[in-house]
Structure 1
Amino acid sequence: MSVSKTPFRATRSETRADVTDRAAREIIDAEATARNQRITRLRSLRLQSEATAREVSKAKPAPKSRKKAG
């Protein structure tokens, strides 16, 4: 995807529909790229959080259960 000063300028061979189609596809591609970057960032943060939670749970000893008086 190339960025220019006039991204939606039509050439002589392009119709208005072609210009609109190209502009829409560029917008959709940009949104998809941003979404994938956001998903990757959030996934890595979630995995780090889960790893930290596992380390904390391993560090804590399990509470001893009390026997019921019966």
Structure 2
Amino acid sequence: MSASKTLFRATRSETRADVTDRAAREIIDAEAAARNQRIARLRSLRLQSEAAARDVSKTKPARKSRKKAG
């Protein structure tokens, strides 16, 4: 057995660490994707709401203030 084979051989604990790392990264990536979808949905709803509010304010005439008779 040469020194190079023993130097670069993956140990059992490294393999477990790699499996754990990969699983954790998959979970984190899935959560990030879900969060990005939720943000995009909420952003579009907010923009629609703001556009509707702008349209209502444009069509609604401004109220004139009344002066008190004195």
Normalising by structure 1, we get a TM-score of 0.76
How many residues get paired?
58
Equivalent residue, structure 2, for 1:19? 19
Alignment identity in percent? 88
Q: Name the counterpart of 1:64.
A: 64
Higher helix share: 2
- Would you say 1:34 and 2:34 are equivalent positions? yes
Instruction: Name segments (4+ residues, structure 1) moved above 4 Å.
Output: none
Q: What is the TM-score when the length of structure 2 is the normalising length?
A: 0.76
Quote the Cα distance in structure 2 between the aligned partners of 1:46 and 1:18. Answer: 42
**Structure 2 CA distance, aligned partners of 1:26 and 1:49?**
35
SS in 2 for 1:28: helix
Tell me the residue number matched to 2:6: none
Between structure 1 and structure 2, the one with the greater Rg is 2
Q: Which has the higher contact order (CA 8 A, sep 6+)?
A: 1
CA RMSD of aligned residues (A): 1.2
